[in-house]
Structure 1
Amino acid sequence: MPTELEELVEFLHSPQAMIRAIALQNLVGFSSGSQNTIFLQDNLRPIKDLQALVHTPDPSIAKDALTILTNMSEYIKIRKMLAENKSFVNHVIQSIIKPNEPNVDLYCVLLANIAKDDAVTSIFQIKAAQTSTDLKSPLAVDQLVDCFVKGAEKKLNKHATFDYLAFVFADISRLNEGRKYFSTAQTYDNVVPLSKLLVFTEYENPVRRAGVASTIKNTLFELSEHINILDRESVNILPYLLLPLAGPEDIPMEELDELPEELQLLPPDKARESDNEILCVHVESLVLLGSTLYGRDFMRNTGVYPIIRELHLAVEDDNVREICERFVQLIMADEPGKSVSEQRLQITAQEEEETAPLEVIL
């Protein structure tokens, strides 16, 4: 005999809209915790019903369906099912971009979960309507980046902050297509997408800081782009990695002069990144930059060492200290061989000796 919950789930498939809506409203609370297995019955038909309900013009019904799908996407098979449904992924993205859509932030969370499946590569082929003068590219992925940058603090949509797009970017940047995208200037504005995200390494919102830190780290696995990413006239990534690591400590003048200008006049109450996991990710990014001779020499000549030294002294966390020590061993080692200028054109993953692999943030 079916349980009451199982019967309630069956009503999601009812031909009557009112019955579907009532069932949905009563089922939301069961989408997290051990009872959420009720949505796995009948060869995942409830998940298919929920995908259809997301398309409803009633925002409250769509919100409940989105909430359940978001919670259920903890299951790998459901993430895969959603990610492989290109029509559904397209709907999610178009809804995020849609002006005044009330459920944008929930769509962003769902997309962040979907992006953990490799099938999300379809995102790079999706085209989007240009619904706002702030979104000029015909490609959906470009519009998502611009929504994230221009839409912070509800500046594009009064219902949305777009914060959780940071985790979408973190997940798609673990893929080859994503790393190439974030490290390559786009034709519609001739700007490298990664450079648009860097300002958020010291942003107030921790979701943005964490997602952007992981996106940076994952993109830096594209070793062939390190010269451009380090170039002060291009992406100029180094100050944005060092600023979250810097605290209020006094650095001797002779060392201070070697630092990027952005770090030479910091206030005496400068606050260091408070999240130790984010600190680790930023130092791991520096280690990745040091996986090429050019990157190591660049950082030696830009005074990175004192920032890491002070970080190691100030933060009492074993993981932070371990990665700081690893960076110091890398950057302070003697370098036999060629000069920086001789190495400039030889930075490829195949030709350069790399450091030990780092786990890509998933």
Structure 2
Amino acid sequence: MLSDSDSAELLSFLKPDTRPDVKGYVTNYILGLSAHSDGCRYLRSKPGLLVSMVTLMSDPSIAIAKNCFHAFINLSADETLHQVLVTQNSELLTVLFRNLLDPHFQLSDQICTILSNLSRSETTCRSVFKVLEEQSMGLAKLLDIFCTDGFNKMASLHHLAPLLSNLTQLPEARHFLLDKDRCAIKRLLPYTLYEASTVRRRGVVGLLHNCCFDYSHHEWLLSDAVDILPFLLLPLAGPEELTDKENEGLPIDLQYLPEDKKRESDPDVRKMLLETLLLLTATKAGRRTLKNMSVYPILREFHDWEAEPRVTAVCEKVIHVLIGEEPEEGMENLMELKIPDDVEERLKEADRREEEVIRGGGD
């Protein structure tokens, strides 16, 4: 690895007024270092190099700026570097959000990837959210950018979806989305059916899943004010013919689906959709709505179609709740129940055994 004198020499070339060909060579070299773990560890110990790379993100040469952005994509993929990137590079997040606001910035997709990476763990997610709010941007503007088709003609901005999903780790972000007067979450629902990008679908479904942990909002989410249920069920519904009675009980958007209706193609997204439905069954109001809306026939057909054991296992949990008896009085809210430690340990052990069976392809 490079000596301290080598590092100092590299740093001397990472200045805005350095010749473009030299900057290009050095930034490309650092990009190469960031592509493997030893190089990442080395750069972690050289904050001066990283600060200079942040500065050159604004270089007039798109090739030089691209080297810098791609290096930070590599570095931000390693969660052990997150604190270093956020705390020792105070300008990094500011530069990223400032450029994201520019509808003509060519490297906005790279920005989205870096921010998505940095917001995975809760600690650095808080740092990302703090700078987002301080930049006169806020979650409202981020949502506007995400929901504006063609906001940036040079970037798809699909990776804003996992960023938004990661931000909903935080109560503050969930509070914004679940505010009844603002009803911001409703703007995101159509993206569960967004055919052009699995990344968008996966991110939005992850966001909805996180928001459904706030069970006090279940009744509102399932009401006409938001109407979340069709957007969770439609990706799971197929072309199978249901009886007239079953169709009439379903939300209108799920009735008499065409013969060419296709299900969600990504098993991770299907699993998250089912886990979100399972969260909604944790409250009495949620269970009542899902039962009244004939969710069971959709899941029955889905269960017969699904080939992934890990997805089937979640589907079966939802079905068991829907066709099972209501919990006894005082136990209606499953998310408020205190499970005895020994029972909780047995449930965890059962889950571990189930995972082993799934991984081994056994019965």
State the TM-score, normalized to the length of structure 1.
0.82
- Measured after TM superposition, the shift of residue 244 of structure 1 is 0.3
Contact 1:198 1:240 in 2 (8 A): yes
Q: Which residue of 2 aligns with 1:7?
A: 6
Matches within 5 A, 1:145-156: 145-151=143-149, 155-156=150-151
Q: Which residue of 2 aligns with 1:133?
A: none
Q: Which residue of 2 aligns with 1:25?
A: 28
Contact 1:247 1:311 in 2 (8 A): yes
Give the aligned residue type for 1:271: K
In 2: Cα distance, 1:230 partner to 1:322 partner: 24
Q: Which residue of 2 aligns with 1:121?
A: 126
Q: Does 1:329 align with 2:320?
A: yes
**Kindly tell me: are residues 246 and 58 of structure 1, through their superposed partners in 2, closer, same or farther at Cα, counting changes over 3 Å?**
same
- Measured after TM superposition, the shift of residue 114 of structure 1 is 1.1
In 2: Cα distance, 1:352 partner to 1:149 partner: 40
State the TM-score, normalized to the length of structure 2.
0.82
Give SS of 1:94's match.
helix
Q: Which residue of 2 aligns with 1:52?
A: 55
Matches within 5 A, 1:101-116: 101-116=105-120
- Measured after TM superposition, the shift of residue 291 of structure 1 is 0.9
Q: Which residue of 1 aligns with 2:266?
A: 275
Contact 2:44 2:84 in 1 (8 A): no
- Measured after TM superposition, the shift of residue 275 of structure 1 is 1.1
Q: Which residue of 1 aligns with 2:360?
A: none
Q: Which residue of 2 aligns with 1:135?
A: none
**Matched length:** 334
- Measured after TM superposition, the shift of residue 335 of structure 1 is 1.6
Q: Does 1:175 align with 2:176?
A: no
Q: Which residue of 2 aligns with 1:289?
A: 280
Structure ranking higher in helix proportion = 2
Q: Does 1:88 align with 2:89?
A: no
**Kindly tell me: are residues 7 and 329 of structure 1, through their superposed partners in 2, closer, same or farther at Cα, counting changes over 3 Å?**
same
Comparing 237-246 with 168-177, greater Cα deviation is found at 168-177
Matches within 5 A, 1:87-236: 87-117=91-121, 118-122=123-127, 123=129, 126-127=132-133, 139-151=137-149, 155-185=150-180, 190-204=181-195, 205-232=197-224, 234-236=225-227
Give the aligned residue type for 1:80: Q
In 1: Cα distance, 2:2 partner to 2:46 partner: 16
Contact 1:104 1:162 in 2 (8 A): yes
Contact 1:9 1:39 in 2 (8 A): no
Q: Which residue of 2 aligns with 1:70?
A: 73
1:181-223 deviation digits (Å, cap 9, x = unpaired): 22224xxxx5422211111111111111111111111111111
**Kindly tell me: are residues 332 and 281 of structure 1, through their superposed partners in 2, closer, same or farther at Cα, counting changes over 3 Å?**
same
Comparing 260-269 with 26-35, greater Cα deviation is found at 26-35
Contact 1:124 1:141 in 2 (8 A): no
In 2: Cα distance, 1:278 partner to 1:9 partner: 47
Give the aligned residue type for 2:126: T
Q: Does 1:299 align with 2:290?
A: yes
**Kindly tell me: are residues 322 and 351 of structure 1, through their superposed partners in 2, closer, same or farther at Cα, counting changes over 3 Å?**
closer
- Measured after TM superposition, the shift of residue 67 of structure 1 is 0.5
1:37-78 deviation digits (Å, cap 9, x = unpaired): 364264443323222222434433222111001101122232
Q: Which residue of 1 aligns with 2:310?
A: 319
- Measured after TM superposition, the shift of residue 159 of structure 1 is 0.5
In 1: Cα distance, 2:105 partner to 2:41 partner: 30
In 2: Cα distance, 1:93 partner to 1:156 partner: 15
1:256-299 deviation digits (Å, cap 9, x = unpaired): 11100010132111001111111110000000001111101110
**Kindly tell me: are residues 148 and 208 of structure 1, through their superposed partners in 2, closer, same or farther at Cα, counting changes over 3 Å?**
same
Q: Provide the identity percentage.
A: 28
- Measured after TM superposition, the shift of residue 350 of structure 1 is 4.8
Comparing 301-310 with 194-203, greater Cα deviation is found at 194-203
Contact 1:201 1:241 in 2 (8 A): yes
Give the aligned residue type for 2:10: F
Gaps of 5+ in 2: 352-363
Contact 2:189 2:228 in 1 (8 A): yes
In 2: Cα distance, 1:348 partner to 1:93 partner: 40
Give SS of 1:257's match.
helix
